[in-house]
Amino acid sequence: MQSLTNPQYIKSLMKKHGVRFSKGLGQNFIVNPDVCPEMASLSGSGEGVGALEIGPGVGVLTRELALSCEKVACVEIDSSLLPVLAETMAPFPNVEVIRGDVLKTDLHALIGERFPGLDVIVCANLPYYITSPILMHLLESRLPVKSITVMVQKEAAQRICAPLPSRQAGAITAAVHYYSVPRLLFPVAKESFLPPPKVDSAVIRLDVRSQPAVAVNREALLFRIIRGAFAQRRKTIHNSLAAALAMDKSAVAGLLAGAGVSLTARPEALSLEEFAAIANAAETGG
């Protein structure tokens, strides 16, 4: 079989099966032959491991995962790519392609059925437009997975992996740190794709925590506070939470005092522990 990173081969494959690049689905296929082997190697793949891939495209990353993992299950939303994958993955009996939307798929059932007795990892090249929803869905679902290794827009990767507190941090940073330990693995230039996107990418890995990073009485309240705080990140935490929680400023002042947080602090200056303290203080009435 020809190389799946050969642009001419990819174009001929797509023409053969009547497939067109979908801008709406954020399809950019990898043509840099060095990217996917490194990505698979750093994802935790190996013997006794099952890999869940989201959006396999023509199967470039899938092939690398199949070479090292015991089983690979791919969820592909674009039905037009199924005959392409049937051809490119024919040499790999340990690969199964499942037609579906990962946000609507019962991933607990999928993992239980496809990966019995295996350690499970997630590895994917995510479309830019839906990076955060997919990552949060994977984390909030509390799937029995060891790690999540994904390629995302470089700016998103930097924000997701930023330390807390830091100027780069945002609501997604806090949420990801709550569920996992993120780290940036390596950059990927936009020229590595067909068609090339307008921005560079990066590969990140999230090592899923066995327990959340901080203890809170109500997770929903914690994330409401985090989202509300970063929605107005230029304001002080006092002002942003008054708006987010629809509370009188004097009540918010009491809440922050009870949590030991300065009224003049900005959201980017707060640690995850401080956000948790605010949430717990709000739960108990300050």
Query: What CA–CA distance (Å, rounded) separates 16 from 94?
Result: 25
| 104 contact partners, CB below 8 Å, separation of at least 6 | none
Nearest residue to 73 (alpha-carbon basis) of 19, 12, 26, 143: 143
Q: Which CATH architecture has domain 219-284?
A: Orthogonal Bundle (1.10)
Residue found under tokens 């001419």: 8
| 142 contact partners, CB below 8 Å, separation of at least 6 | none
Mean pLDDT estimate for the chain: 93
**φ/ψ (deg, to 5) at 172:** -65, -35
How confident is residue 127, by pLDDT bands cut at 50, 70 and 90? confident
DSSP secondary structure code for residue 269 in this structure: G
Instruction: Please give the C-alpha separations between residue 18 and each of 11, 13, 30, 264, in angstroms, as whole numbers.
Output: 10, 8, 19, 59
Q: What is the mean pLDDT of residues 179-205?
A: 94
Burial group, residue 26, by CB count within 10 angstroms (0-12, 13-18, 19+): middle
Confirm if 204 and 160 have CB atoms less than 8 A apart: yes
Q: What is the mean pLDDT of residues 123-150?
A: 94
Secondary structure percentages of the chain, helix, strand, coil, to 5: 45, 20, 40
How confident is residue 245, by pLDDT bands cut at 50, 70 and 90? confident
Kindly list the domain boundaries of the chain, sorted by start residue. 7-208, 219-284
pLDDT, residue 24, reads: 53
Nearest residue to 217 (alpha-carbon basis) of 160, 263, 259, 246: 259
Higher pLDDT, 24 or 258: 258
Range scoring the smallest mean pLDDT among 68-82, 146-160, 245-259: 245-259
According to CATH, what is the number of the domain 7-208?
3.40.50.150
**Is 60 exceeded by the pLDDT of residue 12?**
yes
